[in-house]
């Protein structure tokens, strides 16, 4: 084992990406009607043209498996060659077992393939990619699949106009290998600020609020203090980027492509003020905020549109419930 | 970066462990009365003398923070020196955000310390320890805290005699560093067999069954097909150990201490038939099945009783909802 702290560069190569969207395409025009508002109201307030929502009979793990199959197909990757599945979701499919166990079989991976979940709320894919890189460099795993999925629509509080307009469902996946050593992670930071732990939450679903302990239907819905998230997220991202750019000697100018989480128009303003528009992958208007699925869905978009190219430098960046902020710089 | 596949040895050192138990000590004698059974019935059927259950006002993250503080105190470790918190639970405290975000502040870690969850159901601590080892060898993180917590009592189906008797609540933690290179992981395997994904489950709590999609109170309770878990777990563990022992050239005879998950008397019979009793850490009679907290609580027991000593070889092993089986061999 060598001491890798001399060079922070950590080899990893993304060999394929994929995505999946559920059945219902919900336009903002339809939401105007639902909320009895004039035409254009929902689009103006959400910045979204349409988002996809799952039907009641659609399962999160099925959508995740579709995204993973899409990545396998696009990359012509044999499912039997996957050594590990990492699943990332802001909200799991069910309290137990982990969502990875529910995805594995549906995705057609070899029985016995290990799987577990990594949960960093909206930054789960980013954390999982960093973990995968470490595992690929220090284990016998040769090829790891990462899949992120969320059905945010299940937790929408339709009485809360602000948050009900912005969410879309979806799943996306990436297949990664160690690669040839030239491609990899040039920098990574994740910071969690627990003073904001209650700013984004669904209070039920775990051990805290259950029907037995008096959970109300509203406890199963998503609650957000949008302004506080924005304020803390901005300060925390400033701090994180200052450290990351100092450590790596890089700046936004060195990023060919920036793949952000897609929280809301206000939430994306931070980047718009610092990075030229043509370098930002913005899929918000046609996807909405897909929680943990946003970053890998936007990453997939970067690949299929040819913006992510070998040799280019790409940044993943976002804010998550926690409150966590994170960024990862990748040499493709 | 060097190719670490030549030697599978991965440096990591456990520098401190800790645990926490909630307020209520529930004896099997009390359960005899609750179920209107003769004296000795609950102990005979569960193999448990007593287990701890949380009061309705106790929180999982608070218990986790107590366990982490216990580890910090015992190891005389400055909380500010923790670079990352990994939280492992079979069931989270709430659907969103991740439990790590709820533990960080209560444990008094430095604001900004990153935290995320690793969920491999009952094997979360084992997966997190393996991830921590990879991160410590391929990142700037110097010291990682791992905490596992579960309040299984919140999901007990009291109408199911078999599963209602066996669960206890708890939390346990370990602080790890890379160490001097002499201590570390000699072998690790995790396998998931999704044919058993429905053998242990809590169907609600995520996106699948919610009050809006018609979840019933029973969907929030733990369901287990005990015999199927045992059958699949046995076959899968045989397969896993055959591979692990072949790869490492080791056998049960080389293990000084075996720290198993503590699922049930039947679930622990597998080891009892293969390993001398005095090498197995068995805390089941006084803790019950603590889900993801079982393995680190038993590991803590191994340390405080002096059975885990520098230079000794220790195995963590268990079966989890998923169904996953896992084992990790550690040179202490």
Residue A113 belongs to a domain with what CATH number? 3.40.47.10
Q: Cα torsion at B191, B239, B11, A147 (round to 10°)?
A: -10
Q: What is the pLDDT of residues B6-28, one digit of tens each?
A: 347 999 999 999 999 998 999 99
Residues in chain B: 332
**Cβ pair B99:A206 closer than 8 A:** yes
B190 and B109 belong to one structural domain: no
Could you confirm whether B200 is annotated as catalytic? no
Could you tell me which residues are beta bridge partners of residue A112?
B192
- Name the region of B96 (left: φ>0; alpha: ψ -120 to 50; beta: rest): beta
pLDDT, chain A, mean: 95
**Is A123 in contact with A295 (CB distance < 8 Å)?**
yes
**Cβ pair B5:A140 closer than 8 A:** yes
In a domain, A127, yes or no: yes
Average pLDDT over residues A38-63: 96
A102 and A227 belong to one structural domain: no
Q: Residue B69: how many CB atoms within 10 A of its CB?
A: 19
Whole-number pLDDT of residue A160: 87
Distance CA A190, CA A187 (A): 11
A163 and A211 belong to one structural domain: no
A163 and A289 belong to one structural domain: no
**Is B170 in contact with B287 (CB distance < 8 Å)?**
yes
The residues of A annotated as belonging to the active site are: 122, 261, 289
Going B124 to B130 to B136 to B142, the CA torsion angle's sign is positive
A68 and A211 belong to one structural domain: no
B163 and B200 belong to one structural domain: no
9-38 of A, contacting B, C-beta below 8 A: 9-11
User: Which of A138, A168, A193 to mutate to test binding with chain B, by most B CBs within 10 Å of its CB?
Assistant: A138
In a domain, B5, yes or no: no
Q: What is the pLDDT of residues B54-77, one digit of tens each?
A: 999 999 999 999 999 999 999 999
Nearest chain A residue (CA) to B90: A96
Chain A residues with CB-CB distance to B212 below 8 A: 154, 217, 220
φ and ψ of A119, to 5 deg: -120, 105
| Residue at a domain's end among B164, B181, B198 | B181
Whole-number pLDDT of residue A140: 92
Average pLDDT over residues A121-139: 98
**Per-residue tokens: B201:** 């489950």
B197 and B226 belong to one structural domain: yes
pLDDT band for position B116 (cuts 50, 70, 90)? very high
A95 touches chain B (CB under 8 A): yes
A51 and A158 belong to one structural domain: yes
In a domain, A1, yes or no: no
B151 and B199 belong to one structural domain: no
Distance CA B8, CA B1 (A): 15
> Residue A128 above 70 pLDDT?
yes
**Number of domains chain A is built from:** 2
Q: What is the pLDDT of residues A66-113, one digit of tens each?
A: 999 999 999 999 999 999 999 999 999 999 999 999 999 999 999 999
> Residue B1 above 50 pLDDT?
no
**Is A146 in contact with A173 (CB distance < 8 Å)?**
yes
> Residue A163 above 90 pLDDT?
no
A64 and A18 belong to one structural domain: yes
In a domain, B2, yes or no: no
Average pLDDT over residues B70-98: 98
**Per-residue tokens: B290:** 């603590």
pLDDT band for position B213 (cuts 50, 70, 90)? confident
B119 touches chain A (CB under 8 A): yes
A197 and A159 belong to one structural domain: no
> Residue A6 above 60 pLDDT?
no
Catalytically annotated residue among B282, B287, B289, B300 = B289
Whole-number pLDDT of residue B325: 98
Q: Is the pTM of this model over 0.90?
A: yes
Sort B161 into a burial class: Cβ within 10 Å, 0-12 / 13-18 / 19+: middle
pLDDT band for position B250 (cuts 50, 70, 90)? very high
**Is B139 in contact with B23 (CB distance < 8 Å)?**
no
Distance CA A89, CA A96 (A): 14
**Cβ pair A96:B195 closer than 8 A:** no
> Residue B5 above 50 pLDDT?
no
Chain A nearest-CA distance from B129, in A, is 12
Domain that holds residue B198: 185-331
In a domain, A2, yes or no: no
Alpha-helix runs per DSSP H in chain A = 28-34, 41-46, 60-74, 99-106, 124-137, 161-164, 226-248, 265-272, 284-287, 294-304
Distance CA A325, CA A149 (A): 19
**Per-residue tokens: A62:** 């099925």
Whole-number pLDDT of residue A304: 98
Of B61, B113, B85, B84, nearest to A324 (Cα)? B113
In a domain, A4, yes or no: no
**Is B87 in contact with B105 (CB distance < 8 Å)?**
no
| Residue at a domain's end among A181, A210, A236 | A181
Residues 6+ apart with CB under 8 A from A250: A186, A187, A244, A313, A329
| Residue at a domain's end among B181, B210, B232 | B181
In a domain, B149, yes or no: yes
B171 touches chain A (CB under 8 A): no
CA–chain centroid gap for B27, Å, is: 22
- Chain A, chain B: beta-carbon pairs less than 8 Å apart: 312
φ and ψ of B165, to 5 deg: -80, -20
User: Which of B101, B169, B197 to mutate to test binding with chain A, by most A CBs within 10 Å of its CB?
Assistant: B101
Distance CA B127, CA A135 (A): 11
**Cβ pair A92:B195 closer than 8 A:** no
In a domain, B60, yes or no: yes
Residues 6+ apart with CB under 8 A from B49: B27, B28, B43, B285, B286
A131 and A105 belong to one structural domain: yes
Q: What is the pLDDT of residues A14-27, one digit of tens each?
A: 999 999 999 899 99
Strand B50-53 and strand B257-260: the pairing is unpaired
pLDDT, chain B, mean: 95
Strand B170-177 and strand B143-150: the pairing is antiparallel
Of B44, B6, B195, nearest to A112 (Cα)? B195
Catalytically annotated residue among B52, B53, B261, B300 = B261
Sort A180 into a burial class: Cβ within 10 Å, 0-12 / 13-18 / 19+: exposed
User: Coil, strand, or helix at residue B154?
Assistant: helix
User: Which of A120, A133, A192, A219 to mutate to test binding with chain B, by most B CBs within 10 Å of its CB?
Assistant: A192
**Per-residue tokens: A130:** 């960093």
Distance CA A271, CA B177 (A): 36
Distance CA B129, CA B208 (A): 30
**Looking at this predicted complex, what is its ipTM?**
0.96
298-317 of B, contacting A, C-beta below 8 A: none
Q: Which DSSP string do the residues of A299-311 spell out, in sequence order?
A: HHHHHHTT-S-TT
């Amino acid at each position: 084992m060598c001491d890798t702290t001399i060079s922070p560069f950590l080899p990893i190569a993304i060999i394929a990406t994929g995505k999946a969207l559920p059945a219902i395409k919900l336009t903002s025009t339809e939401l105007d009607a639902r909320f009895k508002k004039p035409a254009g109201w929902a689009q103006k307030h959400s910045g979204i043209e349409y988002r996809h929502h799952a039907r009641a009979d659609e399962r999160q793990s099925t959508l995740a498996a579709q995204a993973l199959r899409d990545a396998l197909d696009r990359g012509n990757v044999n499912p039997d060659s996957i050594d590990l599945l990492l699943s990332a979701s802001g909200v799991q499919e069910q309290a137990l077992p982990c969502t990875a166990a529910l995805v594995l079989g549906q995705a057609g991976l070899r029985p016995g393939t290990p799987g577990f979940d990594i949960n960093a709320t909206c930054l789960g894919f980013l954390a999982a990619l960093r973990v995968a890189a470490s595992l690929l460099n220090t284990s016998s795993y040769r090829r790891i699949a990462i899949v992120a999925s969320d059905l945010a629509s299940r937790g929408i509080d339709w009485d809360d106009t602000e948050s009900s307009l912005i969410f879309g469902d979806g799943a996306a996946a990436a297949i990664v290998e160690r690669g040839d050593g030239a491609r990899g992670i040039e920098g990574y930071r994740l910071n969690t600020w627990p003073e904001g732990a209650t700013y984004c939450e669904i209070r039920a679903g775990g051990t805290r609020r259950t029907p037995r302990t008096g959970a109300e239907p509203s406890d199963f819905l998503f609650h957000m203090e949008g302004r506080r998230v924005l304020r803390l997220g901005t300060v925390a991202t400033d701090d994180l980027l200052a450290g990351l750019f100092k450590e790596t000697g890089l700046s936004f100018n060195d990023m060919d492509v920036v793949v952000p989480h897609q929280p809301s128009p206000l939430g994306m303003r931070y980047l718009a003020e610092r990075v030229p528009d043509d370098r930002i992958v913005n899929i918000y208007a046609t996807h909405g905020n897909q929680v943990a699925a946003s970053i890998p869905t936007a990453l997939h978009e970067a690949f299929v549109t040819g913006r992510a190219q070998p040799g280019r430098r790409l940044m993943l960046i976002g804010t998550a419930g926690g409150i966590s902020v994170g960024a990862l710089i990748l040499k493709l």
